Structure 1
Amino acid sequence: MRERENFLLLSYEDLKKDTKSTVEKICDFLGKKLEPDELDMVLKYSSFQVMKENKMSNYSLITGDIASNDLVLLRKGEEIF
């Protein structure tokens, strides 16, 4: 699949080592160009701490009848950039 034009292979290790370059690689693959301030926003809002505090990404809006109230999906983590 690596040789196919519509396939992008990424590794967690590359993402962890150089997040900014990996995001730029994704943008290139999608044919999109981010301005420097847009790239900074992507890096900021995809950080573990920001996602942990965001009610839309940490599942804290799920009602108790769907999942138990003690469900915590983002307990601890490590910043990758």
Structure 2
Amino acid sequence: MPLQSVLGNKLARYLMRTIWGEQYTDLGPLRAIRLDKVNRLQMKDTSFGWTVEMQIKATQQKMRTLEIPVPYRCRIGKSKISGAI
């Protein structure tokens, strides 16, 4: 991951732990959530901040969460969004 992604991830996780008392290991983009729960979250962000918003709102509403570790590997090919390799 680019340095700014690594640092941003660490900062967001630190703030969530410090302010809301919830410790996450990552801000990965994959979420599995029931429709009634996601509707209850009333998500607003439509860009890159949605992962943090979802995790904070789930914590505030005391929703049960589960993280499943997935190994990270370097991207094969070029990103369609950022153009990074």
Give the TM-score taking structure 1 as reference length: 0.23
Greater Rg by CA: 1
Give the TM-score taking structure 2 as reference length: 0.22
